């Protein structure tokens, strides 16, 4: 085991994302040491760097989506072996608060998160609690496995757990970026008909290849397209991956009476709801945060059996994380960015 590793450390807000050399961590009680083979770059990493989402104590190694191979076990770890291929659920939860007891671990009151309050996976090595590990079968590559905990499990959690998506429903995905393209696939596999919006033709083309009907909101009226798509009934479920006043206004405007708006994005500080329509049509607005370990296990199974395809837009070596971040900010990608370790 080397003494030093490369890791992307946030030491102060507003600096740049750059790998530097840090000691390889040692696994504590109940933890394993993972040799990271790939990690997913999330726009949240950029929010963390800017300080928009405070991290608490700095410095901190970021990266909340990772996949790799176990190389060492801490004391008290059973059922895992060096060489096991794994990914990890992001939330390290207390196990005994009201929400953990009822399986809603994404709401744990004492939660700490990998890549937020504890060191994460944009590094060569990371320690994680064995309780968070999920085995990755050979059929799933490390880069594909690296985007399961957030980009894909979060959409699964939103649509399946929070939205109760199902057969014959009309679903609208607002924004088919790194998350939304997987939302399209999950809603389709649940038996829903899917409408997906973007202003970028290449994103719409990919959404259409995965079975959605695309709406180019730079030139088409969403209201008109949604009315045609649902034969005037209105949409059952909207997934808002954007989280602006405008996206929420649009999402609510196309819902059928009793329809649900799932709020996944959070760009604007506050959102607005039209009170009369909200009341009269008995609309539901549901926040969606992260995912549970069970969501991640379900997603691994769906990907391993070919029912869901992780969409990776670009690969960058860890050393080029600045270029990767610039590419992510440019918005010209279709799919997720994966940082490799070669």
- Give the interface with Zn ion as residue ranges (CB under 5 A): 42, 44, 93-94, 97, 100, 108, 150
Would you say 71 or 97 has its CB closer to Zn ion?
97
Would you say 63 or 251 has its CB closer to Zn ion?
63
Shortest Å, Cβ 258 to Zn ion: 31
Q: How many CB atoms lie within 10 A of CB 243?
A: 16
Backbone angles phi, psi at 229, to 5 degrees: -60, -35
Shortest Å, Cβ 66 to Zn ion: 12
Are 124 and 23 contacting, i.e. CB atoms less than 8 angstroms apart? no
Q: Which among 220, 182, 209 has a CA at the least distance from the CA of 311?
A: 182
Would you say 68 or 265 has its CB closer to Zn ion?
265
Are 296 and 165 contacting, i.e. CB atoms less than 8 angstroms apart? no
Shortest Å, Cβ 101 to Zn ion: 8
Shortest Å, Cβ 151 to Zn ion: 7
Buried b (16+ CB within 10 A) or exposed e, 93-118: beeebebbeeeebbbbeebebbbbeb
Shortest Å, Cβ 236 to Zn ion: 27
Would you say 97 or 285 has its CB closer to Zn ion?
97
Shortest Å, Cβ 34 to Zn ion: 18
Would you say 178 or 234 has its CB closer to Zn ion?
178
Q: What is the Cα–Cα distance from 300 to 99, expressed in whole angstroms?
A: 24
Shortest Å, Cβ 9 to Zn ion: 18
The C-alpha R_g of the chain, in whole angstroms, comes to: 20
Would you say 24 or 155 has its CB closer to Zn ion?
155
Shortest Å, Cβ 44 to Zn ion: 4
Would you say 87 or 217 has its CB closer to Zn ion?
87
Q: What is the Cα–Cα distance from 253 to 283, expressed in whole angstroms?
A: 10
Would you say 40 or 163 has its CB closer to Zn ion?
40
**Per-residue three-class SS string for 244-261:** CHHHHHHHHHCEEEEEEE
Would you say 213 or 289 has its CB closer to Zn ion?
289
Are 26 and 33 contacting, i.e. CB atoms less than 8 angstroms apart? yes
Shortest Å, Cβ 95 to Zn ion: 6
Are 203 and 177 contacting, i.e. CB atoms less than 8 angstroms apart? yes
């Amino acid at each position: 085991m080397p003494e030093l590793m490369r890791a992307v450390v946030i030491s102060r807000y507003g600096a740049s994302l750059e790998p530097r050399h840090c000691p390889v961590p040692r696994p504590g009680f109940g933890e394993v040491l993972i040799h990271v083979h790939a990690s997913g770059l999330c726009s949240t990493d950029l929010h963390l760097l800017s300080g928009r989402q405070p991290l608490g104590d700095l410095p901190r190694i970021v990266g909340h989506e990772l996949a790799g191979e176990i190389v060492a076990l801490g004391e008290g770890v059973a059922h895992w072996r060096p060489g096991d291929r794994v990914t990890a659920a992001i939330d390290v939860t207390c196990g005994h608060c009201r929400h953990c007891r009822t399986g809603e671990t994404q709401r744990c009151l004492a939660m700490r998160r990998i890549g937020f309050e504890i060191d994460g996976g944009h590094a060569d090595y990371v320690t994680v609690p064995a309780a968070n590990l999920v085995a990755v079968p050979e059929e799933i590559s490390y880069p594909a496995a690296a985007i399961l905990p957030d980009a894909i499990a979060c959409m699964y959690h939103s649509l399946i757990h929070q939205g109760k998506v199902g057969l014959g429903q009309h679903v609208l995905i607002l924004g088919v970026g790194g998350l939304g393209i997987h939302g399209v696939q999950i809603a389709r596999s649940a038996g829903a008909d899917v409408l997906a919006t973007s202003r970028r033709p290449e994103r719409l083309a990919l959404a259409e290849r995965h079975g959605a009907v695309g709406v180019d909101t730079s030139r088409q009226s969403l209201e008109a397209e949604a009315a045609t798509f649902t034969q005037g009934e209105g949409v059952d479920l909207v997934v808002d991956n954007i989280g602006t006043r405008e996206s929420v206004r649009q999402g609510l405007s196309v819902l059928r009476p009793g329809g649900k708006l799932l709020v996944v994005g959070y760009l604007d500080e506050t959102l607005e709801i039209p009170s009369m329509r909200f009341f009269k049509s008995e609309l539901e607005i549901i926040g969606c945060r992260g995912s549970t370990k069970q969501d991640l296990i379900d997603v691994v199974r769906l990907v391993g059996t070919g029912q869901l395809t992780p969409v990776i837009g670009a690969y960058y070596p860890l050393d080029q994380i600045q270029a990767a971040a610039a590419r992510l900010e440019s918005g010209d990608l279709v799919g997720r960015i994966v940082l490799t370790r070669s």
